[in-house]
Amino acid sequence: MELFIDTAEIEEIKSLNITGLIDGVTTNPSLIAQSGRNIIETIAEICSEVSGPVSAEVTATDFDTMIKEGKKLSAIAKNVAIKVPLTFDGLRACKAFSDDGIMVNVTLCFSAAQALLAAKAGATFISPFIGRLDDIGADGINLISEITEIYEIYGFDTKVLAASIRSVQDIVDVAKLGADVATIPPKFLKAMYNHPLTDKGLSDFLADWKKTGQSIL
């Protein structure tokens, strides 16, 4: 499973990208606003740092303006994926971009029926928001299961990109269900490699090694 980082903070992306574990980046208008930077400059800098897909979201809600914004964002770099909302006009825009060979991430998906339409529209990625479903008492993890099952049955190429991740366990759960990608806040990537028993084991090993008085170098 690929791991995307969900942030628009370039320094944070740089600090994590050196691990070689980052496969892409997702952004949205809220994350761009939090960064306090210009959207075009921010996306360009992220694309120069990360070789994988970088999702840049349109802010328009009508088809014509989505196309104009999407073309401007797509011109920034070859690895830009245009992010459109799962609305009627968003699906129209997805089909138009896809037909032009442009990567598209269809976002704000909350049902398998929506995901089916996005795949038929040629989406590169579909972004089901599992955490937001859990917030209203629905089952976000089950949605991933439904979408992956439908996509496998019909052979859709659209990648399932699990979004609105709220815990490390969410990442494990969507991986077990066959999600192609999980986009996660930076803090969860760091949490994935932390475990108290790892820390304790390392401390014990180092203490034993120190007693030998040896050095490998």
How many angstroms from the chain centroid is the CA of residue 13?
13
Q: Which domain holds residue 46?
A: 2-212
Task: Point out the catalytic residue in the list 83, 187, 200, 211.
Answer: 83
pTM across the whole model? 0.94
pLDDT band at 119 (very low <50, low <70, confident <90, very high): very high
Task: State the pLDDT at residue 210.
Answer: 94
Long-range contacts of 127-131 (CB under 8 A, 24+ apart): 127/26, 127/83, 127/161, 127/162, 127/163, 127/183, 128/160, 128/161, 128/162, 128/163, 129/163, 129/164, 130/162, 130/163, 130/164, 130/165, 130/166, 130/170, 130/174, 131/163, 131/164, 131/165, 131/166, 131/170
Long-range contacts of 69-72 (CB under 8 A, 24+ apart): 70/97, 70/102, 72/40
DSSP designation for 85: E
For the chain, what is the domain count?
1
Task: State the pLDDT at residue 125.
Answer: 98
- The share of the chain scoring above pLDDT 70, in percent, equals 100
pLDDT (average), residues 13-24: 95
Task: State the pLDDT at residue 165.
Answer: 97
Residue 39 sits in a domain whose CATH number is 3.20.20.70
pLDDT (average), residues 169-195: 96
Long-range contacts of 189-197 (CB under 8 A, 24+ apart): 189/3, 189/5, 189/16, 189/21, 189/22, 192/168
pLDDT band at 46 (very low <50, low <70, confident <90, very high): very high
Contact call for residues 106 and 86 (beta carbons, < 8 A) = yes
pLDDT band at 147 (very low <50, low <70, confident <90, very high): very high
Query: Burial level of 88, CB count in 10 A (0-12/13-18/19+)?
Result: exposed
**Does residue 68 have an active-site annotation?**
no
In a domain, 217, yes or no: no
pLDDT band at 154 (very low <50, low <70, confident <90, very high): very high
pLDDT (average), residues 141-162: 98
pLDDT band at 192 (very low <50, low <70, confident <90, very high): very high
pLDDT band at 81 (very low <50, low <70, confident <90, very high): very high
